[in-house]
Structure 1
Amino acid sequence: MASAINKLLDWMLSGLGLSVSADSAVGYIVAALIHITLIINLVAVGALVFIWLERKISGRIQDRLGPTRVGGKFGWLQTLADGLKLITKEDLMPDGADGFLFKIAPYVSFAASIAAFIAIPFAGGPYPWIAQHLNTGVFFVVAVLGLEVFGVILAGYSSASKWSLFGAMREAAQVVSYEVPLGMCAVVPVLIAGSMDMVVIGNQQAGLFTNWFIFHDPATFITFWVYLTCATASVNRAPFDLAEAESELVAGFHTEYSGLRWSFFFMAEYGSMLSVSILASVLFLGAWNGPIPVASMLGLTAANGDVPGYIGNLLGLLNVLFKGVVGVSVMIWIRWTLPRLRIDQVMATCLKYCTPIAAVMFLGAVVWQYNLPGRTFFGLLAAPQETFAVDEGWAALPTTTAEPAKPAMVERGAATSLAPRLAANQGRGN
């Protein structure tokens, strides 16, 4: 995007006798601002929708209506009205609190929540829709999601309240513990794809839903459900919400917060719910590929031109967002269905069940890949002979012309080099 912006600026300023080089810093700054604006709006608007959705789902589960007055029959504007209320509330801070840490804690959590979206792709192919394409995208997202706990710890430590401190310590123990099985579950799709590049992982699931990694073998099917459990715990959702258990901790780490700062904690929570749901879709549920390859059937690919490729990526974006919303809805459903666990039960679930199961399933995936590398859908079908590899496709992309080259095709599981990708990254100005 940066190089395209520089070319646009160069064309606009050419009439004035000025020029902008293809690698000018202006394009990179503008591209970064566009990316971060889109990501922040995705998290902020998503939080508005998910809060309304949670109220409606919980109302139906509890045999009541939920919001019905503000914003018409379905209460569409109820969350917006609550946001305006929080903005006008007084920003309080208890006596004895550490002022700097108390004020910065919500923003640390929110920044960590939105940072994960930097490396999450929303569409694939030779021109993936992603803010920053990383070779180690899976590792980056899993690592950044764990940083949200620092804001929780700062909030509990700086509040001068024992209830807040207890909630923060519970959150720290829970997140650090569940990061182990969560990372082990994320490694299984990496093993199958042979890459930590999330675009490569998503592209290898192209075609029918039988190519999705959740159906690759019995081990990956079980791994997905372990991942769902660990992801729910890592974002502090019931039945694993011991960090803010109002029945015994008043409200946990954010007991002393009010107004806008309090709302940032909840935006961070819903942002993390969306990020782990989209990560699950990329790793297990076909990413931007639907259950039926409609875009490919209609020729909406980059090989057929810029416009068809853009429309195909738009359909991929809708696929990713739909799967993310479904994942968040499942977490909401679980919250209002299962009772809260005790802290010892939460830790036992991680150490006695999730971690051993994830380890055994990883070994199962290794054995399956070694013995049946060309089989999928629980071994009933043969894997596609060819699948698009982003590494090879980028090496063939032009860096000076607008017409895209046809993507190269390589066999699934074939070794790819990082050098073509790095060279292409520099040429594209990503």
Structure 2
Amino acid sequence: MRIPLSITDNIQEWLVSMMSESAASYVAMIIVALIYLGIFAIAGLFLVLIERRVAAWFQLRIGPNRVGFQGLLQTMADALKLVSKELTGTDRADKFLYNLAPYFVIISALMALGVMPFTKEFQAFDINIGIFFLIAISSIGVIGILLGGWASNNKFALIGAMRSGVQTISYELSVGLSLLTMILLTGSLQLSEIVEVQKGGWLIVQGHIPAIIAFMIYMIAGTAETNRAPFDMVEAESELGAGFHTEYSGMKFAYFFLAEFINMFLIAAIAATVFFGAWLSPFGITESIPWLGVFWFLAKTLVLVFLMMWFRWTFPRLRVDQLLTLEWKYLLPINLVNIVIMAFIVWQKLIIQI
């Protein structure tokens, strides 16, 4: 049986027939990058529209309904507005770091998107340390937030950036440990292999109660890591104006705004991959219709995105002490105990197999 090639390999094979192999590899990378940039932009605008619709639904409002059919073009109009707005700043800002900060946030989100398995074929890079790569690359985004807050030379932006550093570093532990719990069950860091293991059943079912606990902790910690309510201390409007991006405008502000929604999509996509079988259909394997896998992947991801939006429009914002207490006194100890229980379950399965 022929092993399915990734989208990168397929494009490179097509280009090799027209140019040298080295040139084809470079051109293939550029084409794949442009494809993912398109996905990035469309997904960001679509998620903003969904957020507004969900918020309106929860608060018994109408939501966007003027620009385009049922307001479908409202986010496009907002994007054009941001593109045309003047890029302002402060005289005392560190110009180089101030301008560099948004690119840290946007590039880290784009790099993480490149390893997500939409289907067997639609994955830019299937590396054997996929989960490790995602955890590592997601840590880079907070550098952009810290740089933006500090370089703005604004006390509110600096406070927001400091809060972001504390919050992200704290909740990264729970995100990493909850994923590590599932890695114990699969025995692999490679995302495609994690999906293959789930052909016999989703990991949240195979892992029993420890997998359910890991999923719950992951969703709570993932919501906190993306700085979304009820963990939005970084952008607490009533206290800090707009937080770390107070001094940003135009496209630089749009980068921060867009990255938040893409990071939310990534958190949901990782959960859909690790816990719910990514592109695998719940009714059987869709090998005969591979592009149907994109539907299942997006359906699972959007359900989890809706869950994160539900958090935002339901719970009040936590205080800083409550936010850190939740992580260090509750989530982290539960996670550590949960890993031990999962290790025991995996050990029992190995004993039975022997």
TM category, shorter: over 0.9
The normalised TM-score by structure 1 is 0.77
Name 1:245's counterpart in structure 2.
Answer: 236
Tell me the CA shift for residue 38 of structure 1.
Answer: 2.1
Distance verdict in 2 for CA 1:5–1:277, change over 3 Å: closer
CA distance in 2: counterparts of 1:206 and 1:34, whole angstroms: 31
1:76-113 deviations in Å (ceiling 9; x for gaps): 01111111111111110112001111111111110111
Contact 1:39 1:114 in 2 (8 A): yes
CA distance in 1: counterparts of 2:78 and 2:16, whole angstroms: 45
Contact 1:233 1:240 in 2 (8 A): yes
Name 2:73's counterpart in structure 1.
Answer: 77
Aligned sequence identity (%): 37
Name 1:38's counterpart in structure 2.
Answer: 35
Contact 2:15 2:28 in 1 (8 A): no
Name 1:358's counterpart in structure 2.
Answer: 335
Alignment equivalent of 1:109, drawn from 102, 105, 108 = 105
Name 1:140's counterpart in structure 2.
Answer: 133
Name 1:93's counterpart in structure 2.
Answer: 89
Tell me the CA shift for residue 129 of structure 1.
Answer: 2.8
Name 1:163's counterpart in structure 2.
Answer: 156
2:202 maps to 1:212: yes
Tell me the CA shift for residue 164 of structure 1.
Answer: 0.2
Tell me the CA shift for residue 361 of structure 1.
Answer: 1.0
Q: Which stretch has the larger CA shift, 36-45 or 3-12?
A: 3-12
Contact 1:2 1:30 in 2 (8 A): no
Q: Which amino acid aligns with 2:269?
A: I
Q: How does 1:28-67 map to 2 (within 5 A)?
A: 28-67=25-64
Higher CA-based Rg: 1
1:133-191 deviations in Å (ceiling 9; x for gaps): 21110000011111110110010001010000000000000001111111000111211
CA distance in 1: counterparts of 2:80 and 2:9, whole angstroms: 40
Residue ranges of structure 1 left out of the alignment (5+ in a row): 13-19, 301-310, 376-412, 415-430
The normalised TM-score by structure 2 is 0.93
Distance verdict in 2 for CA 1:5–1:235, change over 3 Å: closer
Distance verdict in 2 for CA 1:8–1:65, change over 3 Å: closer
Tell me the CA shift for residue 345 of structure 1.
Answer: 0.7
Question: Per the alignment, in what secondary structure is the counterpart of residue 295 of structure 1?
Answer: coil
Question: Per the alignment, in what secondary structure is the counterpart of residue 205 of structure 1?
Answer: helix
Q: Which amino acid aligns with 1:98?
A: D
The structure with more helix, counted as a fraction of residues = 2
Count of matched residue pairs = 347
CA distance in 1: counterparts of 2:307 and 2:11, whole angstroms: 40
1:223-270 deviations in Å (ceiling 9; x for gaps): 100000010011111000100100111110001111111010011111
Q: Which amino acid aligns with 2:104?
A: V
Name 2:310's counterpart in structure 1.
Answer: 333
Distance verdict in 2 for CA 1:10–1:199, change over 3 Å: closer
2:178 maps to 1:185: yes
Contact 1:245 1:251 in 2 (8 A): yes
CA distance in 1: counterparts of 2:16 and 2:228, whole angstroms: 49
Name 2:4's counterpart in structure 1.
Answer: none
